Amino acid sequence: MTRARVDTVVHGGLVVTSSTVTPAAIAIKDGRIAAIGEESMMPDAARSIDVGGKYVFPGLIDAHTHIWSEGFGVTTRAAACGGVTTTLIFLRGDANDNIFEVATESKRQAVEQAHVDYGFHVYLFDRASMIEELEGTMKLGIPTFKMFMAYKKRQMKVSNEFMLRAMQTIKRLGATAMVHAENGEMIDVLEDQAIAAGCCGAEHFYPTRPNVAEGEAVNRAIEIATHVGCPLYIVHLSSAEGLARIKAARDAGLPVWTETCPQYLLLTDDDMRKWGPLAKIAPPLRTRQDNEALWTGLERGWIPVLATDHASYPPEAKEVGKKDIFQAAFGAPGVETLVPLAFSEGVVKRGLGPSWLARVLSEGPAKIFQIYPKKGALQPGSDADLVVIDPDKRVLLQAKNLHQGAGYTLFEGREVRGWPVLTMVRGQVLLDNGELKQGPGFGQFLHRPMDGHAPAARTT
């Protein structure tokens, strides 16, 4: 009997990179890619997987998830069931919590619960001593820190002074600042005026968070970061105004990156009126014109990452918003529908091509968040993370068939074409035709380095 020289050969598929789609086989040994090439050139293997002409992508990454009401187990299980192989999760302590301790406890919980590989981002609150906690937290492998320019009423907003000081330290340590960019003072005034006028319905939410509130805050964050020389990542971009400022920064060669999300590409304020508090997110759902601007940004590389801002609350946490939209919790589920929506709407309907998907869901986030080429690449030495998508499989999105904790999806009843039918993480099958093959604790923590910012993904 011929002795196997590798563990697995995946063959018969179209291997997708950020620039090519090529018929090829992939050899896997000890959890990493050993070789890519013609099937006839592959070494002997203990196991052979024929993917029957389907697309084989690098592991797909959701760079923006929250676990607030679900915990690591439910969120990462939903990610796995949706074809995601890596998540980057925001850790939310309170203003007085030591962020090193928050991160340490979160790592302890995740190692027992996570179904996919994961890394962390950490919130910063407007407390001067929190800046002193950055370096210790970075030594845990967490070099990305998020600040809010809104949510003063929730004690989450940071001042311009704090943002400047934090960015100075973040830059010195070789980390990256992340910003939720909305003008909080403007929003609070408009919200207070709406409440005073008794305008508390779903239709009154978007007017209190206008496009200019995002555009101004994006510009302010860029100006402060540029003055400091700090790499900057704007989360969940939602408006044409914000995109214009991002484009100008990227055209100038500044270390500024952003993401957008399926909800800002496919839904509008009309859907907010339909779903009510279930669709209360921030920034808000906007207009069809904003949708189209963001699609253009993704196509041309001004927006190098597609993520979800998954924040799954059960419907009862939203119920109060039926009487007063401003009292409902912020957030909506999305991690499980990211991959099929991106493929169906971007690759199939808009003809952006499979390599586009590999750029915005694999290579882009992996490079920006310093896990490339361990993740986000199909090349020898990279983790053997693969996602096989059947481009012809049609699925009707229904909450009853999903695994997210919220029990609903804003994409209920939408038919998608293209579905993840097989995923592998570190050479092990994670998902096979809808059946999850690994349990909680399978996922591994991604320790990201303290060595400055990785180069941005390609922009054209």
CATH of the domain at 183: 3.20.20.140
Each residue of 173-206: pLDDT tens digit?
A: 999 999 999 999 999 999 999 999 999 999 999 9
> Is 70 exceeded by the pLDDT of residue 305?
yes
Does a structural domain hold residue 156?
yes
Reported as a pLDDT band with limits 50, 70 and 90, residue 426 is: very high
Q: Is 459 part of a structural domain of the chain?
A: no
CA of residue 186 relative to chain centroid, distance: 27
Q: How many CA atoms lie within 13 A of 213 on its CB side?
A: 24
Closest CA to 239 of 276, 186, 280, 292: 292
449 or 35, greater pLDDT: 35
Q: Which tokens belong to 177?
A: 């600042």
Which pLDDT value is given to residue 315?
84
At 316 the pLDDT is 86
Residue 450 pLDDT grade (very low, low, confident, very high; cuts 50, 70, 90): low
CA distance 438 to 112: 13
Single pTM value for the model = 0.96
- What pLDDT does 93 receive? 86
Per-position DSSP letters for 281-331, written without gaps between them: -SSPP--HHHHHHHHHHHHHTSS-EE---B----GGGTGGGGT-GGGSPP-
The answer to whether position 409 is within a domain reads no
Q: Which amino acid is at 387?
A: V
Assess if residue 272 is contained within a domain. yes
How many CB atoms are closer than 10 A to CB 83?
A: 29
* Percent of residues, the chain, with pLDDT higher than 90: 94
361 pLDDT more than 80 = yes
Dist. CA 96–CA 122, nearest whole Å: 14
Other CB atoms within a 10 A radius of the CB of residue 192 amount to 13
**Reported confidence tier of residue 458, pLDDT bands at 50, 70, 90:** very low
> What is the mean predicted confidence (pLDDT) over 213-236?
98
pLDDT digits (tens, 9 = 90+) for 143-158: 999 999 999 999 999 9
Domain that holds residue 119: 59-368
pLDDT at residue 459, as a whole number: 35
- Per-residue pLDDT reduced to its tens digit, 5-35: 999 999 999 999 999 999 999 999 999 999 9
In a domain, 238, yes or no: yes
110 vs 26: CA distance, rounded Å: 30
**400 domain residue, yes or no:** no
Residue 3 has a pLDDT of 56
In a domain, 50, yes or no: no
**pLDDT average, residue stretch 379-399:** 98
Residues in contact with 400: Cβ distance below 8 Å, sequence separation at least 6, in sequence order: none
Q: How many other β-carbons are positioned within 10 Å of the β-carbon of residue 460? A: 6
Q: How far is CA 51 from CA 12, 347, 422, 438, in A?
A: 5, 19, 9, 20
Task: Compute the average pLDDT of residues 71-99.
Answer: 96
pLDDT tens digits, 128-144: 999 999 999 999 999 99
Check residue 455 and give its pLDDT: 46
Residue 451 has pLDDT above 70, yes or no: no
Over the stretch 324-359, which tens digit does the pLDDT of each residue have?
999 999 999 999 999 999 999 999 999 999 999 999
Please measure the distance between the N-terminal and C-terminal CA atoms of the chain and give it in whole angstroms: 49
Q: Domain count of the chain?
A: 1
Assess if residue 339 is contained within a domain. Answer: yes
Place of tokens 């097989």: 422
Supply the DSSP string of 197-226, one letter for each residue. TT--SGGGTGGGS-HHHHHHHHHHHHHHHH
- Please state the rounded mean pLDDT for residues 47-54: 98
Distance in angstroms (rounded) separating the CA atoms of residues 172 and 302: 26
- pLDDT, mean over the chain: 96
Predicted confidence band of residue 416 (pLDDT cuts 50, 70, 90): very high
